[in-house]
Structure 1
C-alpha cells in the first residue's frame, strides 16, 4: 500500500487542512474585530461578547477537527513506520507489558520479536556450523560426513511427516 493510497492518512490530511484553515480564518476574524474595537475606542469586552456567540462554537469544531486530524495523521504514519526487531526491543516491550498490563492487549512484544527461522533456514545454519567446525579442525571428515547425512535424513523425515499430515488433512475434508 503506497503512502498516497492509505485512506486514513489521506482523510487525516484533508481533515487537518480544512479544520486548520477554518480555525485560522475564525481566529483571524476574531483578532481583526477585537483589534478594530481597540483602535476605535469601542468596548473590547462588548465586541468580544458579540463575537463569542456565533464564532466560538465554530472555532471549537475547527479545533476539534484539527486535533482529530493530527492524531489520525500521526497514527497513520506510525503504523507505516519500520519497527526494529530484536532481543533488546522485545525484552523492553515484555517489561512494559509486565509493568503495565493493559499494554498486553496491543501485542507489542510479538510485533517486535524476531521471526522464527524456517526449517530450511535452521538446516542451512546447521550445515554452515558443520562446515565451520570441519574447516576449523574441530571435527574430522568422518564425523562431518556422518552429521551431514543425519542432517539430510532429518530434513527428509520432516518433509515426509509434513506430506503425510497434508494428505490426512485433505482426506478428512478439513480444507
Structure 2
C-alpha cells in the first residue's frame, strides 16, 4: 500500500489519461461505424447489434477506470495542496469522515490537523499561563516561584533525556 500512496498522483493521472483516451477512441469507432452504415445506405441496426455487447462492456470498464482514476487523482492533488491546518477544520473533516464510511479511507482529517507544539512552545505556553495566573492573583508569589522552578526542572530533564536518546541513536548508527 505504501507504493500506491507514494505514486498515487502519477498512476491515477496516467490511468485517467489512458481510460479517457481509449473511451474517446471507442466512441469515435462507433461513430465511424454508424457513419459508414449511413453512407452505404444499409441498415444501421445490423452493425450496432454486432457491436452492442463488446461496446457496452468496454464503455463500462473504461468509465469505471476513468472514475476511479479521477478520484485518485483528486485525492492526490488535494493531499499536496497547502491547506490551512486548524483544530476547527480538523474536527469538521474528522466528523464527516466518521459519518460517511467511504471517506474514512481518504484520511484528510489527519492531514488537516494542526502540528503538535514543540517542547519549547509547550514550555512557553506553560510559563505564560503561570504568569497570567500570578497577575490575576490566583497564585501567590511563593506558589508562582515554586511552579516556575518545577517547570524549568522538568524542561531540563526532558532536554537531558532527549540528548541521551540522540547519543544512543548516533552510537547505533556508527556501530553499523
Q: TM-score, normalised by structure 2?
A: 0.60
Correspondence for 1:11: 11
Q: 1:152/1:48 Cα in 2 relative to 1: closer, same or farther (>3 Å)?
A: same
1:20 equivalent in alignment to 2:20: yes
Within a 5 Å distance, the mapping from 1:1-175 to structure 2 comes to 6-96=6-96, 99=99, 109-127=109-127, 146=145, 149=149, 151-159=151-159, 162=161
Q: 1:148/1:57 Cα in 2 relative to 1: closer, same or farther (>3 Å)?
A: closer
For this pair of structures, how many residues does the alignment match? 157
Say whether the 8 Å CA contact 2:79–2:108 is kept in structure 1.
Answer: no
Correspondence for 2:172: none
Q: Any idea what the Cα deviations from partners look like across 1:113-139, whole Å, max 9, x if unmatched?
A: 3333233212233456678999xx879
Measured on the aligned residues, the alpha-carbon RMSD in Å equals 4.1
**2:42, 2:65 → 1: CA distance?**
33
Q: TM-score, normalised by structure 1?
A: 0.60
Say whether the 8 Å CA contact 2:16–2:65 is kept in structure 1.
Answer: yes
Greater CA radius of gyration, 1 or 2?
1
**1:55, 1:102 → 2: CA distance?**
30
Long gaps (5+) in structure 1: 1-5, 167-175
Long gaps (5+) in structure 2: 1-5, 166-176
